[in-house]
Amino acid sequence: MLKKYIPVIFISLLISYVIFVYLFEKNTINISKTVHVNEQVNLNESPKNTPAEMTETGLTGSVKNYQKVTLAPQFTLKNMNGTAVNLSDFKGKIVILNFWATWCPPCREEMPDMQRFYEKNKENGIEIVAVNLTNLDNGVQAIESFIQDYGLTFPILLDKDGVVGSMYEILTIPTSFIIDTDGGVFQKIVGPMNEQMMNEIVSSIKGG
């Protein structure tokens, strides 16, 4: 009698598995190519107000041959002036979406290169959007001082409750997502980028 129901049970389990996989992938940022650069700060090991511990990794990817696999999750955050900014506001531009904190040594290493790159490319349909993980940082005043010290002029957004960082599954910083003019993610960069690397990324996207 039991043998009669085995095919039905098997089919039911198979359908359940397919539905589970679909829902899991739908809610995951599926980046097929992730590049790890030099050093990053593990957020689980480096709480705010304590010196950051840097972990070394090798270069495991290339900054060329990008493949768009998903749309960047949309969000709205306030900038330093309290104005709400949505990621969709930058549609039509190539966006470097960067996650950072003031106490993070690799973030401090990366920022001067980002500012130089921004100054040279902001009129060419390219934007840098830097999301500060404010819930893990040392307060808005520390962020304001950091911006002044480094002379940053690109948009700085405040993730005060950590929702956007969680949405993008940020585990180490700096982490950047390269987003194309249609809002599609081409690549995830874990670790600090330099100006040359940013130029190569943008050239590859424009050439693709």
Do 122 and 87 sit in the same domain of this protein? Answer: yes
Cα–Cα dist 91/18, whole Å:
33
pTM over 0.85: no
Domain span at 10: 1-28
Q: 14-18, 144-148, 167-171: which range is least confident on average? A: 14-18
Q: 55-59, 103-107, 163-167: which range is least confident on average? A: 55-59
Do 155 and 184 sit in the same domain of this protein? Answer: yes
Do 65 and 144 sit in the same domain of this protein? Answer: yes
Q: Please give the span between the terminal C-alpha atoms of the chain, in angstroms, as a whole number.
A: 60
Mean pLDDT of 46-71: 41
Name the residue type at position 144: E
Do 84 and 131 sit in the same domain of this protein? Answer: yes
Do 50 and 111 sit in the same domain of this protein? Answer: yes
47/9: higher pLDDT: 9
Q: Based on the structure, what is the number of domains in the chain?
A: 2
Maximum average pLDDT range among 14-28, 50-64, 100-114: 100-114
Do 160 and 96 sit in the same domain of this protein? Answer: yes
Do 139 and 37 sit in the same domain of this protein? Answer: yes
Mean pLDDT of 42-53: 46
Do 46 and 19 sit in the same domain of this protein? Answer: no
> Can you give the CATH number for the domain in which 110 is found?
3.40.30.10
CB atoms within 10 A of CB 19: 10
Average pLDDT, the chain: 79
55-72 as b/e, with b when 16 or more CB fall inside 10 Å?
A: eeeeeebebeebebeeeb
Do 63 and 74 sit in the same domain of this protein? Answer: yes
Q: Residue 191 pLDDT more than 50?
A: yes
Do 68 and 111 sit in the same domain of this protein? Answer: yes
Do 135 and 157 sit in the same domain of this protein? Answer: yes
Mean pLDDT of 6-21: 55
